[in-house]
Amino acid sequence: MKKVIVIGGGVAGLTAAKRLVESGKFEVKLLEGDSRIGGRVHTQAFGDYWIENGAQWVHGEDGNEVFRIANSLKLLDTERNLISVSTDSVFVRESGKVLDQPVHDNVTIILAKILDGPEEDEVEGTVGDWAIKRFNDALEKYPLDSEPTDKSLSTAVLDWIHRFQDNIDGCDNWFQPSLRGQHEYEECEGNPTIAWKSPACYSSLLGVILNGVPITAPTFQPVLPDWIELNKDVQKIELVEGENSGVRITCSDNSQYTADHAICTVSLGVLKHFHKTLFCPPLPESKVKMIETLGIGCVNKLHFDFKTKWWPDSIIGFNFLWNDTEHVAQYWNSDIDDETLKKEIDGLPLWCRNILGFYVVASHPTALNSWITGPASKVMETLTEQEVKDIFMKVCRKFLPSYDIPDPVEFSQTSWFSNRFTKGSYSFRQMNTDAWSSALEEPILGKNNAPVICFAGEATHSKFYSTVHGAIETGVREAKRLINHEN
């Protein structure tokens, strides 16, 4: 039997490894650097319930492999939808004033026009330039400011939409992703943001992939087969040329593995940071160019368990509209240094202007979550947990002075950028990314054109990049590549 080593136990790696095992043609070993499988699918116990640190929604129905699997097992709540979660959330100004209904309605109409995405012939330029134009066009019909001379509300709303869009694209700011990239990304028809039905959660999928049965809360890690090894931090992937080509893998604990093929499923962020030391010989120029020019940002989630619910049942979230647009214009600048981001303005560091708001958590009745992106999100990761919690609570109380908000009894924050097994949240197509080429997914060939080192993972998907269903498809793709090669 031919030997295959799969590097990484996210959904791409698990899918590829399982397919190869099932084919009966390969001896498979999966090496996962972390102490758990799942990668950017990470459900975690939180108080009496659970939270999703990574992937949360199933994006669309037709042609979506996650939807197909989860819907057939009745694991999804198809009623909820991210767009309505954000638009049904109230918009709050720094003074604590909630936008009146007619203005709120105009904001949601304008937001929907931007979320509809560009027309077919709108392909040039950045997402940001396009969105600002669409915003200004819509503003003429759906005004937000009461006085034509006072643009403060429309500026604050545009800033919030900017932050919201950055969370969707996973970028530092909306002048990074290209409009062309939005066209390259393909939506699956149907509800674009489907939630898991409690006690199912994103980790339910890991059980289905590995063992054919979902796991449900409070179990978040399935029973692992003996071909998966955890805590195996791969440091070197070497192409070995002998009579037949093969691969040698070295881990940080000095353990070594040899095989006929490897499938590398580490994230684009890990490739960006470590490809020069990870691969021997170095990766071909075309692949390096894709690695360097594709984008990956840093979307972080924060969760707060208050033990008792202090917000009314009618509220599903609070979107924060900052007044000081002079400063909000800086926080997303990719070149901004950490010291500037940490500088205090009116008692709060600049970076916290990126906080999107606070939102109810479907899986947790007494918790709220918050989102932050870009350089602000990265600088936040350098602070202590206590500092981060204090600042978020200060912001929450500043925007919501009419509520008596207790201190959270439990707090959790992600650090997707400093996590050396992810180095970012999810990929996007930047302005300097060439039109999609298959360079990133192409295998490194050995003798007789054998695909010795293969590549999978969300960033290698031509049209479903940045998603779980995209990652799964790349795992299937690479398993098929090896199975076909052996036939």
Ligand X SMILES: Cc1cc2nc3c(=O)[nH]c(=O)nc-3n(C[C@H](O)[C@H](O)[C@H](O)COP(=O)(O)OP(=O)(O)OC[C@H]3O[C@@H](n4cnc5c(N)ncnc54)[C@H](O)[C@@H]3O)c2cc1C
Interface with ligand X (CB under 6 A): 7-13, 31-34, 39-41, 54-57, 59, 232-234, 265-267, 270, 299, 301, 416, 421-422, 425-426, 457-458, 466-468, 471
234 is in an annotated binding site: yes
Place of tokens 């479907």: 362
Query: Which of these, 161, 195, 165, 171, lies nearest to 91 by C-alpha position?
Result: 161
CB of 56 to ligand X, least distance (A): 4
CB of 381 to ligand X, least distance (A): 13
328 is in an annotated binding site: no
Of 173 and 467, the one with the shorter C-beta distance to ligand X is: 467
CB of 100 to ligand X, least distance (A): 31
Q: What is residue 201's three-state secondary structure?
A: coil
170 vs 3: CA distance, rounded Å: 36
For residue 419, give both structure tokens.
């996590």
Of 31 and 247, the one with the shorter C-beta distance to ligand X is: 31
- Asked whether 37 and 9 are in contact (CB, 8 A), the reply is yes
Measured at the CA of 423, the angle between CA 264 and CA 391, to 5 degrees, comes to 155
Of 41 and 352, the one with the shorter C-beta distance to ligand X is: 41
Q: What is residue 143's three-state secondary structure?
A: coil
CB of 318 to ligand X, least distance (A): 20
CB of 8 to ligand X, least distance (A): 3
Of 34 and 169, the one with the shorter C-beta distance to ligand X is: 34
Within 216-349, strands assigned E span 228-229, 234-241, 245-251, 256-259, 261-264, 279-280, 294-296, 300-305, 317-321, 344-345, 348-349
Helix or strand (DSSP H, E) at 44: strand 43-46
CB of 207 to ligand X, least distance (A): 15
> 205 phi and psi, to 5 degrees?
-60, -35
Helix or strand (DSSP H, E) at 381: none
Measured at the CA of 33, the angle between CA 32 and CA 34, to 5 degrees, comes to 95
Of 52 and 159, the one with the shorter C-beta distance to ligand X is: 52
Of 117 and 192, the one with the shorter C-beta distance to ligand X is: 192
For residue 96, give both structure tokens.
């604590």
Of 330 and 419, the one with the shorter C-beta distance to ligand X is: 419
170 vs 178: CA distance, rounded Å: 13
Tell me the pairing of strands 234-241 and 245-251. Answer: antiparallel
CB of 74 to ligand X, least distance (A): 19
242 vs 260: CA distance, rounded Å: 11
- Asked whether 202 and 56 are in contact (CB, 8 A), the reply is yes
> Which parts are annotated binding residues for substrate?
358
> Which parts are annotated binding residues for FAD?
234
